[in-house]
Amino acid sequence: MNIVTTVIKSRHSVRKFKTGKVDETVIRDAIECASLAPTAKNIQPWLFGVIRNPGMLANIAGLTENGKFIAESSVCFAVFGERDEMYYLEDCCAATENLILALQAYGVASCWVAGDKKSYAEPVRKLLNVPEKYTLVSLIAAGNPAEITISEKKDKRHIFFCEEFKMD
Ligand SMILES: Cc1cc2nc3c(=O)[nH]c(=O)nc-3n(C[C@H](O)[C@H](O)[C@H](O)COP(=O)(O)O)c2cc1C
């Protein structure tokens, strides 16, 4: 265990937040960490939005299927990818996870809310006035955790193999 693996292992999706702001320095650092993610051919095909206005948070929440809790978050990040770049989805998912882990390192909890492939991707883009060349990849609701639920994970024995896969 080290500081990075401890942060990774301590992360859980949180959907209930306490009221209160997330520091501007934390937000800036999390976005910087997102922007340092690896990308195919180093194209960095992304755009990061930070939404804190309660009215706008409620509007975004209202458009999603399973992200109504965004309305009660302190801040919601929106990750957009350049839709014509072949690897925009992989690149923006890597950035999303970097962002989530950076927040976690500051004790700020979050939950990834689906964006790509969702029918609300375009309405969210238009709501935020984002140019058409981008498409929504993820929304990340964040804040100080009010309730943490720990999800069950698959048994390690069933999810990896060494050298060559063998049936049990
Ligand atoms: C691509 C993706 C989309 C997700 N979309 C939603 C969502 O729309 N609403 C939600 O409540 N959680 C969403 N999640 C969070 C997952 O439900 C959560 O990661 C999973 O249940 C495992 O829990 P854990 O993150 O605490 O390990 C999403 C996660 C990923 C990676």
Q: What local confidence, expressed as pLDDT, does residue 162 receive?
A: 93
Total number of domains constituting the chain: 1
Q: Whose C-alpha lies nearest to ligand 1, atom 31?
A: 112
Structural domain including 35 reads: 3-158
Q: What local confidence, expressed as pLDDT, does residue 56 receive?
A: 98
Is 166 within a domain? Answer: no
CATH of the domain at 35: 3.40.109.10
Q: What local confidence, expressed as pLDDT, does residue 31 receive?
A: 98
Tokens of 24: 């501007």
Q: Is 68 helix (H, G, I), strand (E, B) or coil?
A: helix
Over residues 11-49, the pLDDT tens digits come to 999 999 999 999 999 999 999 999 999 999 999 999 999
Over residues 94-125, the pLDDT tens digits come to 999 999 999 999 999 999 999 999 999 999 99
CA–CA gap between residue 77 and residue 30 (Å, rounded): 10
Is 38 within a domain? Answer: yes
Over residues 57-75, the pLDDT tens digits come to 999 999 999 999 999 999 9
Q: 112: CA distance to ligand 1 center in Å? A: 5
Q: Whose C-alpha lies nearest to ligand 1, atom 18?
A: 13
Is 163 within a domain? Answer: no
Is 165 within a domain? Answer: no
Is 95 within a domain? Answer: yes
Is 167 within a domain? Answer: no
Q: Does 168 score more than 80 pLDDT?
A: no
Q: Which atom of ligand 1 is nearest to the CA of 150?
A: 26
Q: What local confidence, expressed as pLDDT, does residue 36 receive?
A: 98
Alpha-carbon dihedral sign for residues 21, 26, 28, 34: negative
pTM given for the model: 0.98
Q: Does 1 score more than 90 pLDDT?
A: no
Share of residues in the chain with pLDDT > 90 (%): 96
For residue 71, the surrounding DSSP H or E stretch is: none
Q: What local confidence, expressed as pLDDT, does residue 133 receive?
A: 98
